[in-house]
Amino acid sequence: MIQQVRIAITKVRSTTAEPEKYLNKHHISVEDLRSRPVNETDFAEFDYLFAADKENINDLKRQFGHLADDVFLMTNCSKKHLGQPVPDPYYGGDKGFDTVYEMLDEAISEWLLSEGFIHNRAT
């Protein structure tokens, strides 16, 4: 069973209300979620660490060495986007957040299925 989800980042960017507004549209609360930089204890504390793209994985390997060897590419279990980088939604125009949301929803659902956390994918 998944006990907790945390968000950590490899690069700092200025924040806007856009992601929160978009997620609220999908009835996803971000009230208790705050991003923070990845730190060394994350590799021992969490069973799974995911990265949006290979650049993030390389950044983690440069910063943390062998600790980052088991970081998963977010789309490695995806059927529709296998191995593709998750694009930055800010550069995707009007559909940027829609594209990323749909991509992550599918990839996460497929990963949950592959790990046995869920038994069928809700559509």
- Measured distance CA(6)–CA(90) in Å, rounded: 21
36-62 average pLDDT score = 93
What per-residue confidence (pLDDT) applies to 83? 94
Mean pLDDT, the chain, integer = 85
Which of the two residues, 2 and 9, has the higher pLDDT score? 9
Spell out the domains of the chain, with CATH numbers in brackets.
Answer: 8-114 (3.40.50.2300)
pLDDT digits (tens, 9 = 90+) for 110-121: 999 998 888 876
pLDDT at 24 over 70: yes
- Give the global pTM: 0.81
Percentage of the residues of the chain whose pLDDT score is greater than 90:
52
Q: How many CB atoms lie within 10 A of CB 78?
A: 20
Residues 6+ apart with CB under 8 A from 78: 84, 103, 106, 107, 110
Extended beta strands in the chain, E state: 8-9, 36-37, 50-51, 72-73
116 backbone φψ class: left, alpha, beta (φ>0; ψ -120 to 50): left
Q: What does the alpha-carbon distance between residue 16 and residue 30 come to, in Å, rounded to a whole number?
A: 13
Count of CB atoms situated within 10 Å of the CB of 83: 9
